Amino acid sequence: MAPPAQAQRSSSPSQPSGKGEVADVKSQLRNLAGSRAPGVDDSKRELFKKVISYMTIGIDVSSVFGEMVMCSATSDIVLKKMCYLYVGNYAKVNPDLALLTINFLQRDCKDEDPMIRGLALRSLCSLRVTNLVEYLVGPLGAGLKDNNSYVRMIAVMGVLKLYHISASTCVDADFPTTLKHLLLNDRDTQVVANCLSALQEIWSLGGSASEEVSREREILLSKPVIYYLLNRIREFSEWAQCLVLELVAKYVPADPNEIFDVMNLLEDRLQHANGAVVLATAKVFLQLTLSMTDVHQQVYERIKAPLLTLVSSGSPEQSYAVLSHLHLLVMRAPFIFSSDYKHFYCQYNEPSYVKKLKLEMLTAVANESNTYEIVTELCEYAANVDIPIARESIRAVGKIALQQYDVNAIVDRLLQFLEMEKDYVTAEALVLVKDLLRKYPQWSQDCIAVVGNISSKNVQEPKAKAALIWMLGEYSHEMHDAPYILEGLIENWEDEHSAEVRLHLLTAVMKCFFKRAPETQKSLGAALAAGLADFHQDVHDRALFYYRLLQYNISVAERVVNPPKQAVSVFADTQSSEIKDRIFDEFNSLSVVYQKPSYMFTYKEHRGPFEFSDEIGNLSIGTESTDTVVPNRVEANDKDLLLSTSEKEETRGLNNSSSAYSAPSYDASSLSVPTSQLSELAISNPSVSGNVPQPSFAIDDLLGLGLPTAPAPAPSPPPLKLNPKAVLDPTTFQQKWRQLPISLSQEYSINPQGVAALTTPQALLRHMQGQSIHCIASGGQSPNFKFFFFAQKAEESSTFLVECIVNTSSAKAQIKIKADDQNATQPFSSVFQSALSKFGMP
């Protein structure tokens, strides 16, 4: 029987394994298993509780699986539920024993009580054991038809679980079709909501069948479905409303009236107490009005008050999530919030992550009318006991100074900081004064007078020290003792740990030398000598360079080292507008909180293997990838290229989960193809794709299909002239694609030669490029390929966007064209068709 508890106990004293206790429980469970004594259920309850609590704190109790199952033959529902919980947790590691549970779970699935049916079905689907899926199909099918909505609700999620364990079983049983039916017909809104979740996840997992999937997605985003859901939105639970709203944000209405209808319908959702509902509604409003500038602005005005209310009503965590979104909006349209600046004042008891956001918002909304008050407020924070926030506040004042035209008052404040004699305040202020002088050289006299009084000994932070030294060099003609301060600093060269400071010191002493040679010559010599002996490569090189320059010609040296400077008008932004737009596209997601687009924080290994759509954002594209293309890896899951980015997030997550459940072969393949990350992407970069991807040629030749090595010249020039060097970045493409309506949708036939030539998508890309139609993304696998093309008119920057789905077995191409200039759609369509028809022709 069970080994003595003592022998098993605590092999490592630091971490009690709990083995002794588990063995104890095991034997007790055994004793109870067959017992029918009165009160046995109570003893079982206590034991089960113990098992669950071990499970919770992470002790492995999988060894009592058999005993738990034996004890589960009971009518006590509390016991049953604990047993379900246990079984769901350990079935995966005990696939053989899991078989034991099938019997009683299946029986419970037919129980009279709908709750028991539901619970049993949920547990059955949660076993996650591949070789048991055959047992799921029957109960699931029955569950989906159950007359109790609780059971149906669970069955729908069960379908999704089954899909993760075995997609083919799920599809063979035709469950997705059933879900589609329930989505539009079930009376219970939670069943409908679960169908929506499940279908979205299933379709985003459905890797290769991308054509079918994208059609399904289109149906989901079609007017009847969207309207059906919208009209019932109040019946949904608040969480399900979020789900529906997320979907609606991707819907492209046909005309402005429709946009206003949707917005009017959802207007009252902005008064909801649940922040998630309000933000999801705000997203719908923002997305729908992207192309209507003035309405878009009104939306900002409209959502402002509800968001501010949420910020102040919820818990700190909830208000942080909303505040992050408000921050994003403020950054995009500061003028709309300029009179609300008081809302962004920091409260003393707020956590620093909130204060940081608020400081940035205050900086952004500062304008002529409110700057004085904002800066006064910020100066209060500068004396704050919270040092990081005090620093941020000073930086904020500096930033405001740099973005204002009238800086008089602010300069005074900054200079007051320098007189506060707090080390960190001085340090931050010095850096700011330096930047200020680079933009407003006219302030030099006032600033220099104050800076000159600062003892360099009180400045220790490298950044501040470097700033001070820069000013000493730059204004050495105005600061009386500049040469002597520099001299003192050079004497302490050895003690200066920061290379940045030493570099600045070299340059400053040079500048000083040009202006006040007699006083500086000695220091310059000392600095150059010290620099030459410096162990830091950059410092050494700069010293050597200066030395040789001076040897060559002093006036040339002055022109190089201290040329007249132009004032900086605008300091470079740290984040590109492209990234900002991407974050905005991902409104109401973590991207906003992290202030990063999702591709920066969602790791590749957890994404699906064929995800490329987010790469399109950072352009890891084109020539370098094409020469490593392995044809069967070119399976880019392009279906979601054009969906709004937030949906892609879902996709990615779903793909993650697929990788969590799928066989190891997956990882193996990605390991065996070292370049897989590149070859996932079959994206051709129009601007650099001049050179031809060789490997796919080689494959074509092996197959003996004979492919033209150069695009065939067009026999008759088309009436519409296209720009052969058209450029479009993927983000713009995605945005345009979402905003523009479809101007033409058509199906063409492809000639047999074309079909034969289309062994890889690359062949067609090259061909089309020869016709000035550029590919921005492509993917798919025989027989289905999908391409996104674009073209521009030769004379003007009017763009055409094309989605082209080719099915090689039916030799058909489905084309959707969107155009800036709707009138030019027809001519373009014929150009496109003629280009396509020539594909494969010698």
Tokens of 606: 């957890």
CB 8 within 8 A of CB 19: yes
* Closest C-alpha among 299, 396, 318, 383 to residue 357: 396
Could you tell me the smallest distance in angstroms from the CB atom of residue 570 to other proteins? Answer: 30
CA distance linking residue 496 with residue 404, whole number of Å: 36
Tokens of 683: 């994206």
CB nearer to other proteins: give 459 or 629.
Answer: 459
- Residues 350-379: x where in contact with other proteins by CB under 8 A, - otherwise, as a string: xxxx-----------------------x--
CB 153 within 8 A of CB 190: yes
- Burial annotation 718-727 (CB, 10 A radius, 16+ → b, else e): bebebbeebe
Q: Which stretch binds other proteins (CB under 8 A): 235-243, 497-505, 668-676, 747-755?
A: 235-243
CB nearer to other proteins: give 272 or 812.
Answer: 272
CB nearer to other proteins: give 321 or 430.
Answer: 321
Q: Which helix (H) or strand (E) holds 807?
A: strand 799-807
Instruction: Determine the size of the site formed for other proteins (CB under 8 A).
Output: 102
From 8, 63, 89, 148, residue interacting with other proteins (rule: CB under 8 A):
89
- Residues 571-590: x where in contact with other proteins by CB under 8 A, - otherwise, as a string: ---------------x-xxx
From 16, 40, 99, 128, residue interacting with other proteins (rule: CB under 8 A):
128
Q: Map the footprint of other proteins across residues 403-422, applying CB under 8 A.
A: 419-421
Tokens of 841: 């022709």
Tokens of 8: 């098993």
Classify 800 in phi/psi space as left (phi over 0), alpha (psi -120 to 50) or beta: beta
* Closest C-alpha among 515, 533, 512 to residue 524: 512
Q: Count CA atoms within 13 Å of residue 388 on its CB side.
A: 6
CB nearer to other proteins: give 350 or 803.
Answer: 350
Residue 84: other Cβ atoms inside 10 A: 20
Could you tell me the smallest distance in angstroms from the CB atom of residue 329 to other proteins? Answer: 14
From 239, 335, 484, 666, residue interacting with other proteins (rule: CB under 8 A):
239
Q: Which amino acid is at 412?
A: D
Q: Is 661 in the site for other proteins (CB under 8 A)?
A: yes
From 122, 434, 774, 818, residue interacting with other proteins (rule: CB under 8 A):
122
Q: Which stretch binds other proteins (CB under 8 A): 209-217, 286-294, 600-608, 754-762?
A: 600-608
Strands 799-807 and 744-749: unpaired
CA distance linking residue 781 with residue 777, whole number of Å: 14
Tokens of 296: 């878009």
Q: Is 606 in the site for other proteins (CB under 8 A)?
A: yes
Could you tell me the smallest distance in angstroms from the CB atom of residue 230 to other proteins? Answer: 17
Which residue has 């022709």 as its token pair?
Answer: 841
Could you tell me the smallest distance in angstroms from the CB atom of residue 657 to other proteins? Answer: 5
Q: Map the footprint of other proteins across residues 185-204, applying CB under 8 A.
A: 190, 194, 197, 201
Q: Map the footprint of other proteins across residues 291-330, applying CB under 8 A.
A: 305-306, 308-310, 312-318, 320-322, 324-325
Could you tell me the smallest distance in angstroms from the CB atom of residue 341 to other proteins? Answer: 10
Q: Map the footprint of other proteins across residues 47-86, applying CB under 8 A.
A: 49, 52-53, 55-58, 77-78, 81-82, 85
Tokens of 331: 């950054």
The vertex-587 CA angle with 584 and 589, nearest 5°, equals 130
CB nearer to other proteins: give 419 or 821.
Answer: 419
CB nearer to other proteins: give 104 or 832.
Answer: 104
- Residues 544-563: x where in contact with other proteins by CB under 8 A, - otherwise, as a string: --------------------
Rg from Cα positions in the chain: 34
Relative orientation angle of helices 444-451 and 423-439, to the nearest 10 degrees: 160
- Residues 249-288: x where in contact with other proteins by CB under 8 A, - otherwise, as a string: ----------------------xxxxxx-xxx--------
Could you tell me the smallest distance in angstroms from the CB atom of residue 662 to other proteins? Answer: 11
CB nearer to other proteins: give 111 or 238.
Answer: 238
CB nearer to other proteins: give 484 or 603.
Answer: 603
CB nearer to other proteins: give 335 or 348.
Answer: 348
CB nearer to other proteins: give 534 or 640.
Answer: 640
* Closest C-alpha among 515, 514, 454, 463 to residue 485: 454
CB nearer to other proteins: give 154 or 505.
Answer: 154
Mention every residue, 6+ apart, whose C-beta is less than 8 A from residue 576: none
The vertex-151 CA angle with 149 and 154, nearest 5°, equals 110
Which residue has 């046995």 as its token pair?
Answer: 40
Q: Is 152 in the site for other proteins (CB under 8 A)?
A: no
Could you tell me the smallest distance in angstroms from the CB atom of residue 817 to other proteins? Answer: 31
